[in-house]
Every structure is written in C-alpha cells, then in structure tokens.
Amino acid sequence: MAKFNLSAIMADLRNRIPGFSSNQYASLDTASSTVDIAGDDEPRDTPWGARNRRLLKMATLALAAVLVLYMVFGYGFDHYRTHPEFRSSHLWGQYSPFFSVPSTIDPMVPAGCTVTFAQVLSRHGARDPTFYRSQAYNATIAKIQASATKFGKGYEFLKDLGYTLGADQLTAYGIEQMLEQGRVVAELYGHLADDALPFIRASGQERVIDSANNFARGFYGQLVAGEGRTVPDEEEYLSSILILPEHGGFNNTLDHGTCTRFEKGPDSELGDETRNAFADKFTPPIIKRLHENLGAMGFTRDDAIAMMDLCPFYTVANPQANISDFCHLFTHDEWKSYDYYQSLGKFYGYGNGNPLGPTQGVGFVNELISRLTRRPVDDHTTTNTTLTGSPKTFPLDRSLYADFSHDNTMVSIYSALGLYNGTDPLPVSERISPRKAHGFSASWAVPFAGRIFVEKMVCSPADDELVRVLVNDRVVPLQGCNADKLGRCKLGKFVESLSFAREGGYWHRCFEEE
C-alpha cells in the first residue's frame, strides 16, 4: 500500500525542479500536510501571510498545482481520494508519528536574528507497545479469532492475522525518525557546534538510548554530508552520550519516579480515571459496530480502545509506516475523540490537571535555566548533584544540548515551563480542539519523536538575548514575561517567569503522609 509522505514528495520535487529550495525548518511529516483539528473552524493566518497575501496566494497556487500533478502521475489520484485516514494519523494521541504542528507565528528565525543557543528535548522514536500492553493486544486478537462468529466487510483481515508486534523497542520506522531528527537539528543548529560539540544525554531505557544514538548518527552524518565538516568517529561520539539510569533512588530529570506521592498517592490514577470517563461516552457506538461485524463477543470499552491503539502500532511497525487495516475500522470523528481521550490522560496524569504533575518537570527546567545563563544549577528536586556539579557530566560551555526522554515526563516539563498556563482544565463532558486548548493535545505535544526546541537569539541592532520556544515546529508564545509579537521574551524576564520551577514547585509535598 502506498503512503502519502510529504517529506518524500518534497524531496523528489527538489530533485526534479531546478531552483526549488527547502525552507529552513524541514518537515518530518509522516502522513499529509493537512492537520484536521477537532471542532476547529476558526480562521487562521500568520503575520507573514497577512503582510504578503498576494505573494502567498501565488506561491500556494503554484505549489498546489505541482503537488496535484505529482500525486496524479506519481502516486495515483484514486489513492488520495479514497484514503482520508492519512489525515487521521495526526489524531492518534501520543502514538501519532511526528508531524509539524501548525503555528500562528512564523517558525523561521526572524530576519536580522542569529540563534546563539539551542536546547533540544525529544521523545524517543516510534516503538512497539510496552510489554504489558503487547500482551493485552495479543490477547484481544486471540479472543476475536477464537470467538468471532463472523467477519464483516473490512474485518476479514482479523481472521488470520498473526500478532507480530514486539515490546518496548524502537521500530525500524522509529529509528529513521531519529536519524532524520538529527539531520534536521544539524541543518538548523549545526553552526552552534563550531566551537564545541553538542552535549547529549538520554534517560536509561533502551529505546531512549537508541533514539539518542540514532539522533547523533543523523546529526554528525549531516554535518559531514552537508558541510564537509570533520567530526569525531562514531565510537567516540556515541560513547560521549551521558546515560541517566532509571532505577529507583537515582535522581533523573528525564524520567519521573522519585516523588512518592505523585507515583502512589491519591492523584496517581487521575489521568486514567478522567480519560476513561470520556471513553465511556464515545466508545458505545464502536462497541456496537464491533458486535455487528464480529458477533456478540462481549466487547468492552477497553477492547474498543485496544483496537484503536493497534492502528498506530501496526502502522509504525511497518518500515514505511503504511496505514494499518485497523485504521479503517474507525471514523475520522472517532479518531478526534481518541486523540482527546489520550490528551485527557496526559493533562490529568502528568500536566497542569494533576496537582503534582508540573512538579515532576521542575528539575529539568532548573537545568535549562543553568544552561541558558551559564550559572550553576540551583535545584533540590530531581537533579543529580553529583552530575550537575561536574563540568564533565554537566558542562556549561556548550551552545547546543540535546536530551532524550519519555512522553509523560515531557508533559510535566512543558507544564513546569508554563507553556500551557493558558489552558483551562480540559472538560470531560465535551471534546475541545487543541487550538481551543491553547495548543495542548497529546498529538500536538508528545507524538513519537516529538521535540521541543528552546532557542536563545540576538537580533540587530539590539543586543538583548531573547528566548523562543517551539514544540514540534509550533512557536509557543511565552507567558508571564512580556513576550513580543513573535512569542519571545528577554532572557532575564523569561528566567523570572519560571518562579514555579526556581522555587521547587510542590516538591515538599512529595513525601507527605496520606
């Protein structure tokens, strides 16, 4: 089955059309350039588009014509007309493959500005289900094959489907995601490695370590291929990556686990409880349809969610990320609800909806402040003072840093940064779009290979240092620091705005008795 890969199309176009050049921010889009947003009918525009509407229209029409011709003659029109599921791949919650999120502020570096510092924080690439989930999915398929009394239209593939998913590890597609991310970062920030190589860390789970390794391969490979730079050999740069263990008792800012009340306290199940309440509202029609097509097997809410989960997991298990047959079993509107279901889990499990969620990200934010200001780390939460006290394991003389983590901890870090302070508590009674949630959703924030770039820049003729944040290529307007129209704050004001992190969040509550 063919796959609509905009990056591949654009790359092919660049090879076919003389003078065709890429934008500074390359897209790693895995499905299509259209991001369908639940309930989002609000008009959108960018400052650049507002000032250059005529030029934008002409360029858009020209590119659209080329793309249409390319799709018709290169891929086949019928495939695109009959496969709306490509739009749904941006609605798979944290299991969505990375895509560039739409930004109302131009993500290009503003004219006259130079990026002098960049912090990359990335989720690992696409993976197989966790071991527990993989067992559960296998059991669901076995249950269907043992008990189904019929296989309706579109469900026939389930009859002989062999369960082929592994557990916990990066897929081949996930490896390629991280190689590509390394290439993109080299294109954007390679100049920051002129004087000192990037400092890279990874949380200690194998898929995170593998993601960091493949990012490094992509980064250094692009420096050689793109600029002919001399770089360390692979053994040297891979061995320089610092691994932060995830076992109990080791402070690790890239993986939550040391705040007892958060892990085991009264709010530790809040994320699951909230999203399950929403699932109870949107899964009954799905359960009914499963019974109609497979027989009265006693499907439950959790079975319906498991069947939806298998769509992204079987998709990313394919090296080309071909859309799985599981994806055809659900409507586009149901995928919108699925994305919101996953967003509720993240918001109330690890974000602002959980009393101790943002506190789990405080340690990393204080490390970020240290790197931005080149001052020693001041933190008493999850930082490891042995590591942060040594220039070998926490250098402050670099201009480019890259850290690799998990989706849950990244939601806590984003929350500790205040990126979603404008997001009201997500309702369970209705589904709202990411835009109406001020940019918060699982797919917009932490897809497979999702990343945040924190940039420091200077812009002539002023000499002020400005901070800008991009989450999956979307410029997030900073709050509480007098941000300018491009979403940036002066460095000093930005650090002042992080008082929640600088004061330790609610870490003092982590070890309170029930």
Answer whether 202's CB lies under 8 Å from 122's CB: no
Is 328 annotated as catalytic? Answer: no
Q: How far apart are CA 486 and CA 480, in angstroms?
A: 15
Of the candidates 124, 325, 403, 406, the residue annotated as catalytic is: 124
Of the candidates 303, 309, 407, 473, the residue annotated as catalytic is: 407
Of 182, 268, 267, 177, which Cα lies nearest the Cα of 225? 182
Q: How far apart are CA 330 and CA 187, in angstroms?
A: 38
Which amino acid appears at position 213 of this protein?
A: N
| 498-507: burial string, b at 16+ Cβ within 10 Å, e else | bebbbebbbb
Q: What share of the chain is helix, strand, coil (3-state, %, to 5)?
A: 45, 10, 45
Q: What are 200's strand-pairing partners? A: 402
CA distances from 429 to 287, 336, 337, 343, 347 (A): 20, 15, 12, 14, 15
Instruction: Residue count of the chain, please give it.
Output: 514
Is 407 annotated as catalytic? Answer: yes
First-to-last alpha carbon distance for the chain, in angstroms, is 54
Query: Which residues have C-beta within 8 Å of that of residue 393, sequence separation ≥ 6?
Result: 242, 386, 387
Give the residue numbers marked as catalytic. 124, 407
